[in-house]
Amino acid sequence: MNSERITDNQQPVTNNYKPLYYIAVALIIVTVVILTELLLQDKDNDPSLSGTIADQVDKTYASISKSMLSILQDDNKKDRPNFILIITDQMRGDALSCLDNPNARTPTLDKMAKYGVLFENAYCNNPVCLPSRVSMFTGLYPNQHRTLTNKGPFWKSMESTIFDLFKKQGYKLGYIGKNHMLNVDKSVLEAYFDYYHFVDREDFRAYSKYVPPYWHGDTYEPSELCFTTTHTNEGIEFINKTDDPYFLVISYQDPHPPYMAPSEYSSKFSSDEMRIPDYVPASSLSHRLDDYYHAMKFDEIKDSDLTETMRYYYASISYIDSNVARIEHA
């Protein structure tokens, strides 16, 4: 297992892994550069934000953002870098073998961490999907954009988003996979995106009241028909057909529950090999979490059920890793 890792202060090595490097730095530049710019723009446009997080953005990050923004504004489009933002859903931050996780097998993502930059103290802005995605693509905290739960509100404008910024700099835009953020007219989407295909999950993954919350199993269709593969196929086609520069988002549903993976991946993982992390009682964290713990009957899950679920969870991540490798070589 590769336990080497790059921390925030180390310099990346890029000699032999340029494709991986540019994929890896995409999220970094998105976070540090574009979202900082959007925060600063919001402060300029709305004086009421003075004294809030928009007014607290460190001058160093602002300086970096302006420098990197100049790259996007380069008059010679051929000199501008392409960006690929890969999103996974409900993948833990430590679900990488390069972080010494004994259950994970992620050689491609490990290389991205080693030859790019690995943030070991990064935090999600919200624990549920919709608010987190709105924050990711607008640069705003949930208390600013006011989307606090998965019930909405959905984002109804392309203005002041990451897509708007790239579009204004002459980038071709592509979005493939899970959306769970935008709710705008088709005409607006077609005006912004050169290609988009919003799709959630396969039909066979639909929730059911007849299965437990830790539902898992092999996918009911071959891997060639599963969305992680088809999203990757569409992404590769976009990369090969689109003139530079472009900004492409590939948003995977995996490893979101129900935990499922094609048999060629799940068969490589054994529940006997899964290592359960140390148990932390929900009651020691919060009463609300403890109530949820009992309401969902998590207290009735046996270790054997848990390790079998983990087997499919990490198989699903391995499935993602192999598809990221395909993007690397596109």
Encoded tokens for 188? 């607006």
Q: What is the pLDDT of residues 70-111, one digit of tens each?
A: 666 666 666 789 999 999 999 998 999 999 999 999 999 999
Closest CA to 317 of 136, 98, 6, 135: 98
With 0-12 / 13-18 / 19 or more C-beta atoms within 10 angstroms meaning exposed / middle / buried, residue 323 is buried
pTM score, two decimals? 0.79
Task: Give the tens place of pLDDT for each residue, 185-207.
Answer: 999 999 999 999 999 888 888 87
Question: Which residues have CB under 8 Å from 33's CB, separation 6+?
Answer: 64, 65, 68, 69
Contact residues for 219 (Cβ-Cβ < 8 A; gap 6+): 202, 204, 226, 260, 261, 262, 263
177: phi then psi, degrees, rounded to nearest 5: 110, -150
Q: For 271-321, how does the pLDDT look when each residue is reduced to its tens digit (9 = 90+)?
A: 999 999 999 999 999 999 999 999 988 888 899 989 999 999 999 999 999
Q: Is 240 helix (H, G, I), strand (E, B) or coil?
A: helix
Phi, psi values for residue 249, rounded to 5°? -110, 125
The domain limits of the chain are: 18-328
Question: In sequence order, which residues have a C-beta less than 8 Å from that of residue 286 and are 6 or more positions away?
Answer: none
Give, in words, the CATH class of 18-328.
alpha beta
For 83-152, where are the alpha helices, taking DSSP H only?
Answer: 107-115, 129-138, 142-145
Question: pLDDT tens for residues 36-74?
Answer: 444 444 444 555 444 444 444 444 445 545 555 666 666
Q: What local confidence, expressed as pLDDT, does residue 75 receive?
A: 64
Is the backbone peptide bond immediately before 19 cis, with ω within 30 degrees of 0?
no
pLDDT category of residue 5 using cuts at 50, 70 and 90? very low
pLDDT of 269 above 90 = yes
What is the longest distance spanned by two Cα atoms in the chain?
61
In this prediction, residue 54 carries a pLDDT of: 45
Residue 184 has phi, psi (to 5 degrees) of -125, 165
Distance CA 271, CA 309 (A): 8
pLDDT band, residue 124 (cuts 50/70/90): confident
Asked whether 15 and 116 are in contact (CB, 8 A), the reply is no
Q: Going by DSSP bridges, is the β-strand pair 172-177/216-218 parallel, antiparallel, or unpaired?
A: unpaired
Confidence at residue 123, expressed as pLDDT on a 0 to 100 scale? 82
